[in-house]
Amino acid sequence: MIPARCLGLLLVAFGPPGAVAADLTVNLRSRLEAFKGTGEWREVHLQQSLTAGKTAVLICDMWDKHWCTGATGRVNGLVAKMAPFVESARKRGIQIIHAPSETMDFYRDAPQRKRILAVPGIEPPTPLSLFDPPLPIDDTRGGCETPDRFYKAWTREHPGLRIDASDVISDNGTEIYSFLRERGIGTLLVMGVHTNMCVLNRTFAIKRMTALGIRCILVRDLTDAMYNPEDPPHVSHDAGTQLVIEYIEKYWCPTTTSADLLRAFAR
């Protein structure tokens, strides 16, 4: 007969019956206000274990063309780095979700679109009530630094991002939530644009999914902000993006990098 103390140790070592061992260890970055109310935030680092089969990559609004010329150029640059990362994640057994908002007509006959539509809808729980402070940048004028006016320029996801037979396509938060729950996926690796807008605020993105209990991790080198340096706080575009990333680390979710994830995939 196994003593109770020894049995407890065995359960800690091997987990409960049916448990799936984590096969990825990812380095995360967050922000901590150690002394509340001081406004003094410290960068903190931690490690998180993930299981590939319970993790998904969510690609937010990486359109073929943006109304802002400057944004289109930066998205093209992101695609060159994002595409090989997505291929590596897929090979590692991570589900890929393409979420190019307002382009579902383009994909209406795609098997990847039909697959997620076939998933039975799951009523989401009552969302958590989470603190939602204002952004550290002013994007009220649209955030475009080039002389462009808004129009619907996008028709599909950027063609530089391959959509595999195993992927799914949706821009609907309930569809994506239902798919995640059906597959037992509890973690989203979020990437795409724009960090201060769609990446935070779409129905499938960080704020909503976090409030529904999905653990989000922003891949901070595979995102970009819509920010014009002529607007407050009058910093460079890249510095504005970093401010939004730090804001997300403070209030919404931790971040990681594609390089760190690729190292985890290779272990």
Whether 225 is in a domain gets the answer yes
CATH code at position 103: 3.40.50.850
Determine, yes or no, domain membership for 1. Answer: no
Identify the CA nearest to 56 among candidates 211, 217, 173, 212: 217
Instruction: Quote the pLDDT of residue 257.
Output: 98
Identity of residue 211: A
State pLDDT tens for residues 6-53: 434 333 333 333 334 468 999 999 999 999 999 999 999 999 999 999
Rounded distance between C-alpha atoms, residue 211 and residue 98, angstroms: 21
| DSSP annotation of 58 | E
Helices 258-266 and 69-91, interaxial angle, to 10°?
A: 10
Residue range of the domain that includes 207: 53-125+163-267
Residue 26 lies in a domain: no
> Does any domain span residue 38?
no
Residues 6+ apart with CB under 8 A from 74: 193, 224
Report CA torsion sign: 25, 83, 44, 205: negative
C-alpha separations of 257 from 71, 202, 220 in Å: 21, 22, 6
Q: What percent of the chain has pLDDT over 90?
A: 91
Closest to 98 in 3D by CA, of 50, 55, 63, 74: 63
- Residue 244: is its pLDDT beyond 60? yes
Cα distances from 153 to residues 43, 64, 150, 228, in angstroms, run: 38, 8, 8, 19
- Of the listed ranges 4-8, 92-96, 218-222, the least confidently predicted one is 4-8
Both tokens assigned to 132: 């939602």
The answer to whether residue 167 sits within a structural domain is yes
Instruction: Give the mean pLDDT of 125-141.
Output: 97
- Domain total for the chain? 1
With 0-12 / 13-18 / 19 or more C-beta atoms within 10 angstroms meaning exposed / middle / buried, residue 57 is buried
Q: Does residue 257 lie in a domain region?
A: yes
